[in-house]
Structure 1
């Protein structure tokens, strides 16, 4: 074989290998950036959804405890948020959310309660969101990069 051909084939092979390495590096970088972006979007979506559920649950529980007109219509918005949670949240968080819903339902069926006593260390009856918020915080920390 002619030495000029060997030199030309070597140059082409080296150029091809360099181009493929560049393409592979670009593809891996882009894939990593896409994965990071999807993670951040998912994290933000869960955080927003958890916050919506907490706010709406607190409002509905307050309505039930204070003894406002006992209409169940406002509960449907909370059930809609719970449905969204079922799409994204972990089983632990969903179980805690179901317990929150049970607490609110029980409060709607019960007579009005007294305002919490700040001197009473057993205010856990009014801290019905603690288990849910703990589960949310754990879930958000678990999926952190």
Structure 2
């Protein structure tokens, strides 16, 4: 083979390899960035959902402690959030949210609490039915943060 042809062929192969390397590196960078963006958005959606659930569950629970007649609109909104969690969240978070929903419904069936009883519940911590839910959500969000990096 002629050395000129060999040089031209080597240059052509080098250019092809360089081009493919550049395309592959660009594709990998875009893929990594897209995954990081998706995880960041997923985490933000979950945070917003958990925040809304905590606010709604707290309001429903306080209402249930003081009234025998349920606020059906608030309960429907609470269960809509639980069902959104079924799509986005881990099984443990959903199970804990379900437990909270059932506890709220059961609370409507119990006698209304007086202000003194509510104060005692605050003092002994029994009023906070969302502690375990918060811990599970924090663990889930931290695992999402770890996947991002």
Report the TM-score when normalising by structure 1.
Answer: 0.92
Write the distance in 2 (CA, Å) between the matches of 1:21 and 1:129.
52
Task: State the Cα distance separating 1:67 from its structure 2 match.
Answer: 1.5
Partner of 1:43: 43
Moved more, 113-122 or 34-43: 113-122
Which ranges in structure 1 are unaligned for 5 or more consecutive residues? none
Which ranges in structure 2 are unaligned for 5 or more consecutive residues? none
Partner of 1:12: 12
The superposition leaves residues 94-122 of structure 1 with CA deviations (integer Å, 9 ceiling, x where unpaired) of: 11111111110011112211232269742
Alignment of 1:1-145 (within 5 A): 1-67=1-67, 69-115=69-115, 116-117=118-119, 121-124=123-126, 126-145=127-146
How many pairs align?
Answer: 144
Write the distance in 2 (CA, Å) between the matches of 1:72 and 1:3.
86
Task: State the Cα distance separating 1:123 from its structure 2 match.
Answer: 2.5
Task: State the Cα distance separating 1:79 from its structure 2 match.
Answer: 0.7
Q: Do the aligned partners of residues 119 and 55 (structure 1) sit closer, same or farther apart at CA in structure 2, a change above 3 Å counting?
A: closer
Write the distance in 2 (CA, Å) between the matches of 1:70 and 1:29.
53
Report the TM-score when normalising by structure 2.
Answer: 0.89
Q: For the aligned residues, what is the CA RMSD?
A: 1.7
